[in-house]
Chains A and B, each alone.
Chain A
Amino acid sequence: MALPALWMAAIVYACELTILSIGFTLTYLTAKIPNFAYGTMSGIGIYSVYMASRIFKVSPYYGFPVGTLLGGVFSVLVYLLIVKVLASMGGGAIVLTIATLAIQIFLQAALYIYAYWVRSIWKLYTIGFLLKTRDFVFLETPGILYVSLITSILVIVGLHYMLNKTKIGIAMRATTESIELASILGINTDRIQLYSWFITGCLAGLAGSMVPMWFMSSPLTASGMQTSVMAGSLIGGFTNMYGAIIGGFSIGFLEIILTYYLQMIFGAWVGEYRPIIPMAVLVIILLVEPQGLQGLYHRFMATKTGEGILKSLGRGE
């Protein structure tokens, strides 16, 4: 009952993109900037899994928590050393966005240098590797399928619980609405920002850890996912976590399944144009509905049918 490799790849990739899109949206909510370094931050996860598997010779899954934590630590450092400093100096959205681009360039180069360092010491292939063979097999299916599905569901449920039920989560939502008002109510917005950067970094590291279990990985893989992540987040409207879940999953699925079937129809040359799919989605959404699913939802709920549905759910005015 083994799943075809195509669907495996689609599901694993969609799970990764879901987690990344949630994180990207959370950063956009708290810092009000698109974090261009976000895709590259998952490279930290990729290389911690690599280290666990190839250098320490243990199951690659030991690298997951390490990658998650390292991603969080890096994200906190980025916030404390750069974003907070620039924001306190009065840097606007554009300046902060350029700063994240600079971080992306820096981090990608650092990952490459790290890969070359590992290569020069342990004499291993570090650029372009695959850890498929080190995965466990359960019911004739590679373990990463279960791990990725369960992890992404856990992340979604956990974040939902945290944002709606815990004190920190509610404070976080208040901070995303308005920093000034939240601080008037006695919320330490600085610390809340720190927490949210930590969480987003953790999510990036976690999503990155899953990549080498099924896909060929190099430092470029991580930054290559950036466009897809942004497209997934944009489908959800950039400011809605639940929209980002749908967006990330659909973009991941679309990218692999659509490329495959287009290749079946038109020939192998379509495969080269795969990175264009998220770009096309991005452009189409910006042209049609810049608010994404959230805008569609608001528009639908403003119609008569929408109002009727809301009333039947007991939420109407």
Chain B
Amino acid sequence: MLDLIGNLAAVSGNARLIVDIAMYFGLFVIIAMSINFQYGNAGVPNMGCAVQVIVGGFTVSAITTRLCFWIVKQAGVELLPYASDFDWVYNNQINVSVLTNAYLKENPMLCFTLMLFTLALALILGSLIGWVIAVPAIRLRATYLMVTLITMADASQIIGRNVPWISGGTLGMFVPNVFAFYPGDRTVIMAVITLFIGLVSFFIFRTMLNSPYGRLMRSIRENEITVGSVGKNVVSIRRNILMFASGITAISGSLLAFYFSFVVEANYQRAMWTYWPWLMLIMGGPGNNAGTFLGTTLIVALRRIIIVYKWVFDKFFFFPIAYFERLLLGILLLIVMIFRPNGLIPEKLLYIPGINYRQLVREEVPVDWRAAPKASSKGGGGFMSRLRGKEES
């Protein structure tokens, strides 16, 4: 990876495969960790990750691109008209690839600002969509939530396909290259940034899980009735979790859009962005991040190698390899669920930094058993009778 950053020539061959695996690992690890945060730790089965990812993608195409056009126009570059739906799609390639990218090449600071702005916006819009899709079913049983979330993913794709001003409809559209100033291959630096964001979100999730709120989440997973009975608002906690994790998931959608420099709804299929991350999570073991990392690494490497060496496999099969991949997905999920129900790395007890567990165990609790009250030998002898006895005396 590090050699590739310095290398300014176009990336190809095996190096290309490495960059690809790194990029997809970064993207999927963000999504898998956020599912782990929701399902593994709070028991919220978010089967609608594809919605949040697509929102991240649409943020880039619908908002960042318009903003970028506006800035470039203010700077005096003559852009082709882009106000109507037709112009928006038809002039898009020249507007972005020729005119805007040339301007961005000379303004690295603008590039950074645009990218950070997009990521922040994706976080906000993702949380918003998390709130919206949670409305119908968050109060009901978890299976109802799954039913609505799964259908939402299709709905978002249909809307993206038919509303051209979002992402150019079926044709898709180019988005500004925020690394136009970088002389080498854009994908390399994109992969590095994605991995970095994955690392940051790992620390954010870890901090969240080790906080009192994280322990509250785990207690909701174990028994929500008990948590409700001690005065916690289970529904609002669940909604907060869904919103927070949705925001982080949306970031990965934006990163994918920048990686391709292209947004089209077909890139954001439900199977790709919901089922595969779930397989990674369940394979690695829900409830711990180490398992998520392991599952993501295995599955992403497997998939990218299948896709890259597709031409080899296609010689042996009479059907497109994509269906074999799906078959593998289904079978792997079932096998893992039946034979390794806890995943490759089972969940461990929560470790909270700052507390010396060894000392806690070693410390002798000063209890004088002779002084402790004895249970009365006459009938009953429960806790209540002991209380009553005290009252009498």
Interface residues, chain A, with chain B CB atoms under 8 Å away: 33-34, 36, 82, 85-86, 89, 91, 93-95, 97-99, 101-110, 112-113, 116-117, 120, 227, 230, 234, 269, 272-273, 275-276, 278-279, 282-283, 286-287, 290
Contacts and interface: CB of A to CB of B under 8 A. Distances in A.
B148 A102 contact: no
Nearest to A231: B151
Interface string B122-154: 000000000000011100111110111011101
B144 A290 contact: yes
Contact of A98 (B278, B319, B329): B278
Contacts of B152: 279
Interface in B320-366: 320, 323-327, 329-331, 333-334, 337-338, 341
A34 B146 contact: yes
A227 B337 contact: no
B158 interface: yes
A282 to B, nearest CB: 6
Contacts of A227: 151, 154
A235 B307 CA distance: 42
28 contacts: A82-B338, A85-B338, A91-B341, A93-B142, A94-B39, A94-B45, A95-B337, A98-B333, A98-B337, A99-B333, A101-B47, A101-B275, A101-B333, A102-B329, A102-B334, A103-B334, A105-B275, A105-B330, A109-B323, A109-B326, A113-B324, A116-B319, A234-B147, A272-B161, A273-B162, A276-B158, A283-B148, A287-B136
A94 B147 CA distance: 11
A86 B338 contact: yes
Contacts of A104: 330
A102 B333 CA distance: 6
Contacts of A109: 323-327, 329-330
Nearest to B318: A120
B147 A34 contact: yes
Nearest to A90: B341
Contacts of B155: 275-276, 279
Q: Identify whether the interface residues of A are mostly helix, strand, loop, or mixed.
A: helix
Given A93-B141, A282-B148, 14 more contacts: A94-B45, A94-B146, A95-B341, A102-B334, A105-B333, A106-B329, A109-B330, A112-B319, A227-B154, A230-B147, A272-B158, A276-B158, A283-B148, A286-B144
A230 B325 CA distance: 27
B337 A283 contact: no
B333 A34 contact: no
B330 A283 contact: no
A99 B331 CA distance: 10
Contacts of A97: 45, 143, 146
Contacts of B154: 227, 275, 279
B319 A113 contact: yes
Contacts of B43: 94
Nearest to A108: B326
B323 A105 contact: no
Contacts of B39: 94
A94 B47 CA distance: 11
A286 B148 contact: yes
Contacts of A269: 162
B271 interface: yes
Nearest to B39: A94
Contacts of B142: 93-94
A148 B154 CA distance: 29
Contacts of B327: 106, 109-110, 113
B337 A33 contact: no
A279 B135 contact: no
Contacts, number: 121
Interface string B196-214: 0000000000000000000
Contacts of B158: 272-273, 275-276
Contacts of A93: 141-143
Contacts of B175: none
A279 B325 CA distance: 28
Contacts of B338: 82, 85-86, 89
Contact of B330 (A33, A106, A286): A106
Contacts of A82: 334, 338
A102 B337 contact: yes
A110 B47 CA distance: 23
Given A106-B331, A272-B161, A89 B151 contact: no
B50 interface: no
A12 B329 CA distance: 34
Q: Considering the complex of A and B, which 4 residue pairs feature the smallest CB-CB distances, nearest first?
A: A106-B330, A116-B319, A109-B326, A102-B333
B282 interface: yes
A117 B136 contact: no
Contact of A286 (B140, B331, B334): B140
B151 A282 contact: yes
Nearest to A233: B147
Given A113-B327, A273-B158, A286-B148, A105 B45 contact: no
B162 A117 contact: no
A3 to B, nearest CB: 30
A33 B334 contact: no
Nearest to A272: B162
Contacts of A275: 154-155, 158
B329 A105 contact: yes
B137 A286 contact: yes
A84 B136 CA distance: 31
Nearest to B161: A272
B337 A286 contact: no
B321 to A, nearest CB: 11
Contacts of B282: 98
Contacts of B323: 109, 112-113, 116
A227 B148 CA distance: 9
Interface string B289-304: 0000000000000000
A117 B319 contact: yes
Nearest to B282: A98
A36 B146 CA distance: 10
A234 B137 CA distance: 13
Nearest to A227: B151
A306 B158 CA distance: 43
Nearest to B157: A275
Interface in B150-170: 150-152, 154-155, 158, 161-162
Nearest to A36: B150
